[in-house]
Amino acid sequence: MSDVGVLGAGSWGTALALLLNKNGHNVTIWSIDKNEVEMLNTKREHESKLPGVKIPQEIVITNDLESAITGKDFLVLAVPSPFTRSTAKAMAPYVAEGQIIVDVAKGIEETTLMTLSEQIFDEIPQANVAVLSGPSHAEEVGRGLPTIVVIGAKTKETAEYLQEAFASPVFRVYTSPDIKGIELGGSLKNVIALAAGMADGMGYGDNTKAALITRGIAEISRLGVKMGGKLETFAGLTGIGDLIVTCASVHSRNRKAGYLMGQGKTMQEAMDEVKMVVEGVYSAKAAWKLGREYDVSMPIVDEVNEILFEGKNARDAVNDLMLRDNRSEHSALPWN
C-alpha cells in the first residue's frame, strides 16, 4: 500500500484516484479551485466531468498543495497540459529528493518545445519524473472498463514499482524506457484527432478517417524517431493505439472540437462548447515548429495549423492534402 497524491481533480485525475483507491492505496486529490474541492467533498461526484461515478469517502480532497505532496510515496500530476509548468513551479518547494511524479497529461510547450516531463524536471530537478499514457479515456477508466496503458520511466525499478501500483484486473500496465517516444505520441496524436474530427463534421466517411489515422502515425513516427523516440513505441499503445482511440471515440475532446469546426464553428466556439481543455489546439503550433526544426514533412499538421490559426476552410485543406504530388508510400522500400 502506498500514499499517493493526485494533483488535478478533472476527469482523468479523478478516474486514476478511484483506480488507485480500489488498488488499496491511500489517495489524496488536490485541486487549485476551492469551489471544486467544496463541491467534490459535498457531492462525492464530479457531475460535469465524470457523472455517475462516486468518490469514496476515504479519498481525501483538498486545496492544500503542501499536504497533498508531503510524505507521499508518489504523485500523479493530472492537470491540463497548459498548466503543467505553473503547477510544477508551485509544487517544487514541497517535493522531496527523488520523489516520483507521474505525469498523465499530454502536450508540448509552444514556447520551449519541451514535453511535459521536461517541463516538470525543469521546475523540479530533484524529482524522479515518469509518464503514463495510452488509449485510456477517463470516462471508461472511471467505470472500470478494461484498459491498457504504458508507464515510461528513467529506470526499470521505477517503472516496475509504478506498474505494480497501478495494475488491476481491469487496468493492465506495460513498462518502457522510451519516455520521449511515449510523450510525443501522446501529444501529436491530439493534432491528428482534430483533423479526424473535422472530417467527421464535414460528413466524410471511414475511408477518410482511416487515411488520416494511417498517414497521421506516419508523420508522428517520422518526427518522433528524429527526436530520439523509438519506432516500436509509435507502433504500440502510446502511438497508433492512442491515435486510434482519440480519432474515433465519442469521449475524445479533440475529435469533438474538430467535429464542431468541420461543421463551421470557429476554433474558439468549438473550445467553448467542449468545455474542457482541447490539448491538440495547444500542441498544434509546437508540432508545426518541431516539423520545421527537424526538417520533417508533416502535411496534416500543417493543414490543421492553417485551419486553426490562419482561417483556412477545412474542405480546402482536405482538397490540398488529396492533391499533393503523387509519391511512393514508403520511400525506404526498393523496387526489384
Amino acid 76: pLDDT? 98
C-alpha 44/C-alpha 38 separation (Å) is 10
Q: Is residue 335 part of a domain?
A: no
Among 146, 177, 208, the domain boundary falls at: 177
Domain check: are 136 and 58 in the same one?
yes
pLDDT value for 322: 77
Q: Is residue 13 part of a domain?
A: yes
Is 189 catalytic? The answer is yes
Mean pLDDT of 206-222: 92
**Percent share of the chain, pLDDT over 70:** 99
The confidence score (pLDDT) of residue 189 equals 92
Asked if residue 195 and residue 144 are part of one domain, the reply reads: no
Model confidence band, residue 235 (pLDDT cutoffs 50, 70, 90): very high
Catalytic residue among 49, 180, 189, 230: 189
With 80 as the cut, is the pLDDT of residue 90 above it? yes
CA distance 171 to 145: 8
- DSSP assignment string, 266-299: -HHHHHHHH-S--HHHHHHHHHHHHHHHTT---H
Query: Which residues lie below 8 Å from residue 127, measured CB to CB, with a gap of 6+?
Result: 95, 98, 99, 100, 101, 120, 121
3-state SS assignment for residue 54? strand
Does residue 215 fall inside a structural domain? yes
Q: Which residues have C-beta within 8 Å of that of residue 323, sequence separation ≥ 6?
A: none
Residue type, 209: K
Residue with cell string 525543469: 122
Q: Are residues 260 and 138 part of one domain?
A: no
Grid coordinates in use for 159? Answer: 517503472
With CA atoms as reference, report the closest residue to 2 among 17, 15, 19, 20: 20
Q: Residue 151 — pLDDT band, cuts 50, 70, 90?
A: very high
Q: Is 232 helix (H, G, I), strand (E, B) or coil?
A: helix
Sole residue written with cell 502510446: 238
Report the pLDDT averaged over residues 271-286.
80
Q: Are 127 and 133 in contact (CB under 8 A)?
A: no
Distance CA 307, CA 270 (A): 13
**Is the domain of 25 the same as that of 160?**
yes
Average pLDDT of the chain?
Answer: 92
**Residue 320: predicted pLDDT:** 81
Q: CA 255 to CA 115: how far, in whole Å?
A: 22
Within a domain: 330 = no
- Structural domain includes residue 86: yes
- Do 202 and 105 fall into the same domain? no
Flag whether 75 is in a domain: yes
Per the CB < 8 A criterion, the answer to whether 179 and 268 are in contact is: no
Strand ordering across the sheet containing 26-30: 60-62, 26-30, 3-7, 74-77, 100-103, 128-133, 147-152, 171-176
Inside any domain, residue 328 = no
Q: To 5 degrees, how large is the angle CA 155–CA 161–CA 164?
A: 140
Q: Are residues 52 and 132 in the same domain?
A: yes
For residue range 285-297, list pLDDT tens digits in order: 999 999 999 999 9
Closest CA to 219 of 202, 243, 251: 243
What total of structural domains would you count in the chain? 2
Tens-place pLDDT, residues 12-26: 999 999 999 999 999
- Give the CATH number of the domain where residue 199 resides: 1.10.1040.10
Q: Of 177, 201, 220, which residue sits at a domain end? A: 177
- 36 three-state secondary structure: helix
Is 173 in the same domain as 214?
A: no
Residues 196, 77: one domain? no
Q: Do 216 and 143 belong together in one domain?
A: no
Boundary of a domain, candidates 150, 177, 204: 177
d(CA 292, CA 300): 14
Q: Are residue 218 and residue 145 in the same domain, yes or no?
A: no
Confidence of residue 118 (pLDDT cuts 50, 70, 90): very high
∠ CA(245), CA(162), CA(24), 5° rounding? 95
Same domain for 310 and 232: yes
Residues 236 and 265 in one domain: yes
Assess contact for 1 and 24: CB atoms under 8 A.
Answer: yes
Q: What is the pLDDT of residue 331?
A: 76
d(CA 151, CA 173): 7
The answer to whether residue 29 sits within a structural domain is: yes
What confidence score (pLDDT) does residue 253 get? Answer: 84
Say which CATH number the domain at 102 has: 3.40.50.720
Q: How far apart are CA 176 and CA 33, in angstroms?
A: 34
Tell me the residue range of the domain where 286 lies.
180-322
Asked if 71 and 109 touch (Cβ cutoff 8 Å), the reply is: no
Answer yes or no: are the C-beta atoms of 127 and 120 closer than 8 Å: yes
